[in-house]
Structure 1
Amino acid sequence: MVSMKGKKRMRYEEESKKIIEFVGGKSNINSLVHCATRLRFSLKDTKKADKAALENLPSVMSVVNSGGQYQVVIGNKVPDYYAAIQTLADLNEDTPKTERKLSFNYVFEVISGAFSPLIPAMAGSGMIKAILTILVEMKVLADTSSTYLVLSAASNAIFYFLPIFLGITLTKKIGGNMYVGGVIGAALLEPSFTGMIGQDKLDFLGIQLNVVDYATTIFPIFVAVFIYSFVDKLLRKIIFRDLQLFAVPMFSLMIMVPLTALLFGPFGTVIGNGLSQGVMWLIGKSALLSGIVLGGGMPFMVMFGLHWGFSPITLENLTVMGGDPIEGMAVAAVFAQIGIAIGFYLKSKKHSKMKALAGPLALTGLFAGVTEPIVYGLILRYKRLLPIVAISGAIGGAICGVTGVTMNAYVFHNIFSIPVYTPKIGYFIGVGSALIAGAVLTYFFGVKEDEMVDFLPDTDRGEDDFQEPVVDRSPSSEQLVETVVYAPLAGKVIPLKEVEDDVFSSEIAGKGVAIIPDSDEVVAPFDGTVVAIFPSKHAIGLKSSNGGELLIHIGINTVNLNGEFFETKVAMGDTIRQGQTLLTFDREKIAAAGYAMTSPVILTDAQSMKDMMIINEEEQVTSKSKLFLVGEKLEGTI
């Protein structure tokens, strides 16, 4: 008997196989990292990825191609999918890297790839800092006690030794031996090296040497690893293969550590200080405008992964200044998004889908500071929320900017990290305003009337609950128009839950049945129009004259055939009559290619799904057989 844990693992593995397939197969994957909610693929060819197929997977909230990464948004379960894909696709630190041109997208891809694996450690360490701050302020723990010092070491280690960790993650992203990259960073923190800090008249082979403190720094190791990636490739070309095991790392370290100490380290320090001072100069010119831009614009930067560009500057500010005003303003964006989830929770009725969705999303944002599920699950789904999140975040960001709020430790923005922000009054007014504005604007303006289906109680109807057509024909009456959906395929009908595809069997894509065809023809199940024909010709979308929308999907995963063995007989926008041939296919050749012929026939619009009644299930049908009835409420006369 399979345990619940085993079943979950199997589900992750099955869906991970589909994710790998839909990003173009494991041969199309250069590398993979993940953050709190997203799988971040580096693909050889993004054109091979099937975005629509990925977004149809039950586990996938959205797909974004930005910053040189193909980002698949999963949510809180992303580590489980990441682990499964790493195993299934044979991805590891030795995965070969492809040549990349230096570009804006590539820079953000490298920054993101370097920091993403470290986010859990950084977030956890930051939360320890927040807890210690609370304990010291409440005089529960003295900052000179051994207990405090032990916990402080736990919270500071990731930041102090950041050059080592970044040396590893950067090398894995750019190329080279990731542990040699880590040693380059470690050399800058080695006691005999740090012991020379502040000393005069130092040199290396007669070249003047200026040793500075590289603990917690970012840019020096970025520069050093970038150069090291080229040194590693050069050495592997000129050193005999049998000697590479020790010779390449030996010469790499002998070259890179002195060059980093003499040149790349000081150069990286200048870059980091310059960028930090530049951003601070802009903030100094107009804290109000900076707050509006950061508070209102950060959700959109998150959507495209561009927020990673601020991480090095934030860490530099924390090191040099002890506080970072960038995140002190951007925190408002997080609470604006939480406010949106709260607004939807309050607006939705008891037992509705939105009530069940918005509540957990709001709690995840409040307690964990993770708001990507709100962005992809709500904001991008209901377009009215786009200006609302911008306005709410801008209001809070402006207040935080004007009052000079700074974040004094690297943490996720949530209610547990309150102690690391100063001044407290500006912080509370800023994030409170963003949250309240987001909730109020969302409650009153966040959704259109015709989008309220998920906000109403979810009442599944059985056959006995199905309403008969209303006969009242007065102009003002609300009527129920019944549509008969005939079988589009001849064959055996089976319940949708028996389809070996999670998207269909879970009814995420829609409700209906499946047919195992015994003919090679798809016919129109009602009078209406063609609203979608897939390029692969394996599926067709229809709309009835009364408005119900239907999808007919021939076979499972037959999108991979790219139209082979399929031939369409109609075009997009064509008017169709019940019984008319829509497309033909060769089921024998499709089956011989290894694809199951089980063909889902599903209603895809929410109203039709509420008012449907299945007539034929688990029996043989022809194109003249009634499959199910659909009732739709319309205003006015029939």
Structure 2
Amino acid sequence: MSNKQLAKDIVKNIGGKGNVVSLTHCVTRLRFVLKDESLAKKAELEKLDIIQVVQQAGQYQVVIGQNVGEVYEDVMDVLGDIKQNPTKNGQKPKVMDQVFEIISGTFAPIIPAIMGSGLLKAVIQMLTMAGWLDAKSGTYAILSATGNAVFYFLPIILGVSFGLKLKVNPYIAATIGAALLEPNFMNLVSSGKKVVDFVGIPVVLMNYSSTVFPIILAVLLLKALDVLLKRYIPKSVQSIVTPMLELILVAPITMMVFGPIGVSIGEWIAKLFAWAMVKNAIISCGLFGAVGIIIVAFGLHWAVIPVIIMNLASQGFDPLLPTVQSTGFAAAGAALGLFILRKNNSKERQNALAAFASAFFAGITEPVIYGIYFKYRKSLIYASIAGMVSGIINGIIQIKATQIAGGVFTIPTFKPAFGYAFSMLVAFGLSLALHLILGVDTKKVQPSQDDKKHIDAKVGQVEQVIAPVSGKTTALSEVKDEVFSSGKMGKGFAVYPTNNNLYAPIAGTVTTVFPTKHAIGITTESGVELLIHIGIDTVNLKGEFFNITVSEGDVVAQGDSLGTVDFTKLVENGYDPTVMVLITNDAKFSKVQEEWQSEDNDSMLSITV
């Protein structure tokens, strides 16, 4: 499947471009913010050439893999001009979600430059040690300048990235970062003076090359000042006056106040890390090796990436990265183990092999996390054990990273290289062994459709769907929401409820319970994917008035209780309580027919497989 076709299918199955509020991407994931996540067809998405679908931190994430950048561009072509506003339905994101989203959005774009530069520095070091490169040659100087540039000029690069994220002029932000490294200022720093004055105000001189926090604080000030100035300065002169005032105010204030504060914050964090990695290295590395997978899965690794980058830039090494890589090699072992175990499931073997290659050769673990760990809890436990053991070894040997990239080809860049290689072999081997010896199944895994199409379905089998609530049954076309009434979400029917009890309209497995409780998905053994959508725009209630008693993975019989909904409260709060029943994959069945049996609650669909 081409990326362009994949992009079209993704947009179609997330509810169409009209359901997209914003889209960004990281190293492996498309990160959508959707107006209504219940309109997305998760099951259909996961049948595409993707790794996994994840819903977290207010985002609907489609895990693509290493070619996510190319797919992102094609998806953006399909979406057209959408407003990149990471909110939905007027809801304000949680503060911590916003913080991590800003951090990831700031550092993710510069990671490739840091990885490339770090690997280049490692290559230069190895060539010099081997005697193939003269440290006094012009070649050495040029290559070193190339490898060092991203670290030395980090305040400028971060200024651009953080400025873009905060929607403030990135070039003004970069200029402020450049002012901290400008030769005249650097001459003052190297002159031996500790303090100079600026219009009579003392300025403590510091070297801001390779720093992170001073420019972060400076751009935050720039954003606040930019909003203030644009409120009071006439638009006719804003393009001239605003940039000048921002530069003349923010740069000196950064040098006088935020610069020293930022440097102090960085030094304090570095000392804390040094204490943890020297005094308690075994405990610290072992603990991180055990929980590192969870940290990455929930995006919390973006909290430590700035510190890792700061350590690499200022000290030339970082003590935590080797244990991060331990989780990567443990993930590779898990993927290879699943590949070996799944001899009768070609689809799962294919995904496992791709995940193995991503983790083993590039150190990228998201395909394993979302494609294996989230599916097999035992696999997560085995990999965590392997990561912990490897982390303890890292702590004992005091292994350090000299660059940020991972994978098998970067082993020589770690110090000591042989100790690191042994530790990664333990992570990989132990994870693989645990998978092969103990297995991963917590429930029977069905063969893929490619191996045994419709194994549970009998040709001609008829599935009956009853109403999930008592009430007046109407045609789907009568629903006061075009998305449902048009049939775009699938065939079905609607019920205006007369009591609060909610029942399973069909037997199957509960595959989806949306966090806001307003939508429930059930999949039958014959492959029918049914969606119960309770009310219109009720996603805005964030679960209030809903008491859903089933969870994802529960098996229900037709007529089993799913919980209750206070429909009276829905109406009192201005919401249409109509309950829609939809067959979201109706095109796969030879016949989906309405069979009205009464005007009460016995309406049903018949689905011929």
**C-alpha offsets along residues 533-558 of structure 1, whole Å, 9 cap, x if unaligned?**
98999997475xxxx3442559xx99
Q: Which residue of 2 aligns with 1:425?
A: 418
CA contact (8 A) 1:184 1:256 kept: yes
Q: Which residue of 1 aligns with 2:68?
A: 78
CA contact (8 A) 1:540 1:551 kept: no
Q: Calculate the TM-score normalised by the size of structure 2.
A: 0.74
- Name the CA shift for 1:264/1:96 in 2 (closer, same or farther; >3 Å): farther
Q: Which residue of 2 aligns with 1:524?
A: none
- Counterpart of 2:444 (choices 421, 439, 451) is 451
Asked if residue 240 in structure 1 is aligned to residue 230 in structure 2, the reply is: no
Q: Which residue of 2 aligns with 1:485?
A: 461
Q: Pairwise mapping of residues 185-264 of structure 1 onto structure 2 (< 5 A)?
A: 185-199=177-191, 200=193, 202-264=196-258
- Name the CA shift for 1:446/1:488 in 2 (closer, same or farther; >3 Å): same
Asked if residue 119 in structure 1 is aligned to residue 95 in structure 2, the reply is: no
CA contact (8 A) 1:184 1:257 kept: yes
Asked if residue 438 in structure 1 is aligned to residue 431 in structure 2, the reply is: yes
Q: Which residue of 2 aligns with 1:510?
A: none
Q: Which residue of 1 aligns with 2:155?
A: 163
CA contact (8 A) 1:345 1:358 kept: yes
Measure the CA separation in 1 of the matches of 2:84 and 2:453: 52
Deviation at 1:406, TM superposition (A): 0.5
Measure the CA separation in 1 of the matches of 2:435 and 2:449: 19
- Name the CA shift for 1:245/1:148 in 2 (closer, same or farther; >3 Å): same
SS at match of 1:366: helix
Amino acid at match of 1:8: N
Mark the runs of 5 or more structure 1 residues left unpaired by the alignment. 467-479, 490-513, 522-526, 564-570, 577-596, 604-615, 629-638
Amino acid at match of 1:364: S
Q: Which residue of 1 aligns with 2:126?
A: 134
Amino acid at match of 1:203: D
- Counterpart of 2:99 (choices 107, 122, 126) is 107
Mark the runs of 5 or more structure 2 residues left unpaired by the alignment. 466-487, 496-504, 539-548, 551-555, 560-581, 596-603
- Name the CA shift for 1:203/1:351 in 2 (closer, same or farther; >3 Å): same
RMSD (Å), alpha carbons: 4.3
- Counterpart of 1:379 (choices 373, 379, 401) is 373
Q: Which residue of 1 aligns with 2:56?
A: 65
Measure the CA separation in 2 of the matches of 1:620 and 1:528: 15
Measure the CA separation in 2 of the matches of 1:179 and 1:54: 40
**C-alpha offsets along residues 189-229 of structure 1, whole Å, 9 cap, x if unaligned?**
22222222133252211222233221221011011111111
Measure the CA separation in 1 of the matches of 2:306 and 2:431: 29
CA contact (8 A) 2:230 2:242 kept: yes
- Name the CA shift for 1:183/1:380 in 2 (closer, same or farther; >3 Å): same
Deviation at 1:55, TM superposition (A): 6.2
Amino acid at match of 2:222: Y
**C-alpha offsets along residues 461-515 of structure 1, whole Å, 9 cap, x if unaligned?**
69xxx9xxxxxxxxxxxxx9979612759xxxxxxxxxxxxxxxxxxxxxxxx9x
**C-alpha offsets along residues 397-436 of structure 1, whole Å, 9 cap, x if unaligned?**
0100111000012x22111211221112321221111111
Q: Which residue of 2 aligns with 1:291?
A: 285
Mean CA deviation greater in 8-17 or 394-403: 8-17
Deviation at 1:242, TM superposition (A): 1.0
Q: Pairwise mapping of residues 468-617 of structure 1 onto structure 2 (< 5 A)?
A: 485-486=461-462, 529=507, 541=522, 543=524, 548-551=525-528, 575=558, 600-601=585-586
Measure the CA separation in 2 of the matches of 1:386 and 1:216: 36
Q: Calculate the TM-score normalised by the size of structure 1.
A: 0.71
Q: Which residue of 2 aligns with 1:475?
A: none
CA contact (8 A) 2:29 2:64 kept: yes
Q: Which residue of 1 aligns with 2:269?
A: 275
Q: Which residue of 2 aligns with 1:11?
A: 6
Identity %: 30
Measure the CA separation in 2 of the matches of 1:487 and 1:93: 42
Q: Which residue of 2 aligns with 1:504?
A: none
- Name the CA shift for 1:461/1:254 in 2 (closer, same or farther; >3 Å): closer
- Name the CA shift for 1:559/1:117 in 2 (closer, same or farther; >3 Å): farther
- Name the CA shift for 1:336/1:50 in 2 (closer, same or farther; >3 Å): same
CA contact (8 A) 2:518 2:533 kept: no
Deviation at 1:51, TM superposition (A): 8.5
